[in-house]
Amino acid sequence: MRQPPPEIEAVGISKIFGALKVVDDVSLRLAPGTFHALLGENGAGKSTLVKCLMGVYQADAGVVRVDGTPMHAGSPREARRHGIGMVFQHFTLIPSMTVAENLVLARPDLPLIIDWKAEFTRLRDFLKQAPFQVDLESHIANLSAGQKQKVEILKELYLETRFLILDEPTSVLTPQEADEVLGFLRRLVEAGELSVLLITHKFREVMAFCDSVTVLRRGRFAGAGRVTALDPERMAAMMMGEAPEGRRVDKVPAKRGAALLQLHALRAMDDNGLEAVHGIDLTVHEGEIVGIAGVSGNGQKELLEVIAGQRAATSGHITVSGELHLPTRALLRKHRFFVLPEEPLRNAAVPRMSVAENIALRVFDKPPFREAGFLLNRASIVNFGRDMIQKFSVRPPQGDAPIGDLSGGNVQRAILSRELSSGEVRVLVAANPCFGLDFKAVDFIHDRLIETRNRGAAVLLVSEDLDELLEIADRIYVISGGNLVHETTPVDADLAVIGRQMAGSH
């Protein structure tokens, strides 16, 4: 029988980075067996606050009490001893190891010599009553974002965490997967076995699964309440401090032009050498957004990597306006071809370089950023960065901070500003560009994508969020098992059919 969850109380927590008070005198009390949501816009201080609870950061002021006793050392190890566990916003699994190795090595009571046979038996028993299944022998590096997230959560359950902090766990899951995971956790909460502190940007999840909420705004407490007494509008107002302004870009009727981006019988393998993309033909015309829907792990990761030049196609090719396209700097520039990959901090940024430098990565070797020879013009990089930071509302607006220190949503904004700013875009390929963004930022990015399309670019949007595709795409394909198995327009979309196609049961 599991022990009941502890009562967690944080009193007057503050955390300062440099000159910035990121968390400012925040208090929170979580009774055992509650499902609590922590809300706030990108950069509000949510991740920082929960890292203080988890002992990853030492708070500059305040105290965390577990069942009334103050935590002393404030380390993740101490937190774990009290049954507190956390799934971080960025993955923490070891990519080169298997699922089983990751689960076993996370155990705090690991013996010096590991009896793998016994461990596997134990793991299999554990998996029998787990909410979702994963292949224990898979290498983490080969898993999709959604699968990795499931392993992160399984790891916490395996470690018998009783107070589980989840930092935007569903931003990489499909709505169905999210319901499955949160529904399972909800049942554990109701059975009195678990407390959950959930950071999310999705009001739907708050309304469906949470008992109560706390809202942060710019590092400060901005409101709290029981979910039954609140609605999304009230929560949005607490987050933003005022009614969010509604000005949106109009999606003008599609003016589909010539074929621009074309994939010709593209085939690619996954990291295990199995074919993951089975000969995909696809045309994106000028002035349209083509969406690719699908459950993660159906070849979209490999397809995107081929398009972005991070993976070689085994056969087939890509053309832009009929001309062969290869991911060289020269051709990317000539075709005005831009890619916004998934997990931008890992795939599209240099975490320790500054925000301004990251924004200039596309253009630093062109005038005015490059002067005679190889001299870089620092001042123009800084100015350009400042401009983009302002235009894309990156917070905090400091170009010289390492981009790795930005909150998740702000990294996304900075990278998008780079991809959309450097000259006129003709082809834009975006993968799940709104993962982890607050609703205001989602609207902002959708507006930029629509604007890019309205100006005549070809936009390919790969997204696990079907609602997003239904809202902004002109045509939608479903990818399943490495093939495009279904095509529809948002107007004609039949959700039941799409769901069946996504699930691979045609």
Ligand X SMILES: Nc1ncnc2c1ncn2[C@@H]1O[C@H](COP(=O)(O)OP(=O)(O)OP(=O)(O)O)[C@@H](O)[C@H]1O
Closest to Mg ion by CB, 287 vs 433, is 433
Residue 47 binds to Mg ion (criterion: CB under 5 A): yes
- Residue 171 interacts with Mg ion (CB under 5 A)? no
Torsion sign across C-alpha atoms 252, 254, 256, 261: positive
| Residue 147 contact, options ligand X, Mg ion, none, Cβ 5-8 Å cut-off depending on partner type | none
Residue 55 is a binding residue for ligand X (CB under 6 A): no
Residues in the chain: 506
Nearest 5°: the CA angle 413, 417, 422 is 165
Query: Quick one: 84 exposed, middle or buried, by C-beta within 10 A (0-12, 13-18, 19+)?
Result: buried
Closest CB 143 distance from ligand X, rounded Å = 22
User: Is there binding between residue 42 and ligand X (CB under 6 A)?
Assistant: yes
Q: Least distance to ligand X from the beta carbon of 191, Å?
A: 29
Determine if the peptide bond prior to 175 is cis (ω within 30°). no
Strand duo 259-269 + 20-30: pairing: unpaired
Which range binds Mg ion by CB under 5 A, 26-34, 81-89, 100-108, 176-184?
81-89
User: Which residue is nearest to Mg ion, using beta carbons?
Assistant: 47
- The answer to the question of residue 421 lying near ligand X (CB under 6 A) is no
Residue closer to Mg ion (CB basis): 22 or 277: 22
Based on the shown chain and the rule CB under 6 A, indicate whether residue 47 belongs to the binding site for ligand X: yes
Q: Does 48 bind ligand X (CB under 6 A)?
A: yes
Can residue 482 be called a binding residue for ligand X (CB under 6 A)? no
Partner from ligand X, Mg ion, none binding residue 463, C-beta < 5-8 Å depending on class = none
What is the β-pairing status of strands 315-320 and 259-269?
Answer: antiparallel
Structure token pair of residue 210: 């949470």
Binding mask 402-441 for Mg ion (x = CB under 5 A): -----xx---------------------------------
Q: Does the protein bind ligand X through residue 327 (CB under 6 A)?
A: no
Query: Which residue type is seen at 330?
Result: A
Of 44, 189, 381, 461, the one binding ligand X by CB under 6 A: 44
Sort 218 into a burial class: Cβ within 10 Å, 0-12 / 13-18 / 19+. middle
Other beta carbons within 10 angstroms of residue 387's beta carbon come to 15
Pick from 373, 395, 398, 375: which is nearest to 385 by CA? 398
- Binding characters for ligand X, 67-106, by CB under 6 A (x = yes): ----------------------x-----------------
In this chain, which of 43, 74, 146, 433 binds ligand X, going by CB under 6 A?
43
Instruction: Rule CB under 6 A: choose which of 83, 344, 409, 433 binds ligand X.
Output: 409
What ranges make up the beta strands (E) of 80-146?
84-87
Look at the block and give the residue holding tokens 């400012």. 24
Which is nearer to Mg ion, 201 or 335 (by Cβ)? 201
Residue with tokens 């996370």: 106
**Residue 405 interacting with ligand X (CB under 6 A):** yes
Say what angle helices 175-190 and 145-158 make with each other, to 10 degrees.
Answer: 10
Q: What are phi and psi of 384, to 5 degrees?
A: -60, -45
Closest CB to ligand X among 327 and 404?
Answer: 404
Which of 17, 88, 132, 184 lies at the binding interface for ligand X (CB under 6 A)? 17
Residue 48 interacting with Mg ion (CB under 5 A): no
Interaction mask 340-359, Mg ion, x per CB under 5 A? --------------------
What gap in Å lies between CA 79 and CA 86, rounded to an integer? 10
Tokens of 388: 């983009």
Enumerate residues 6+ apart whose C-beta is below 8 A from 391: 417, 421
Residues that bind ligand X (CB under 6 A): 17, 22, 40, 42-48, 89, 395-396, 405-410
Residues that bind Mg ion (CB under 5 A): 47, 89, 407-408
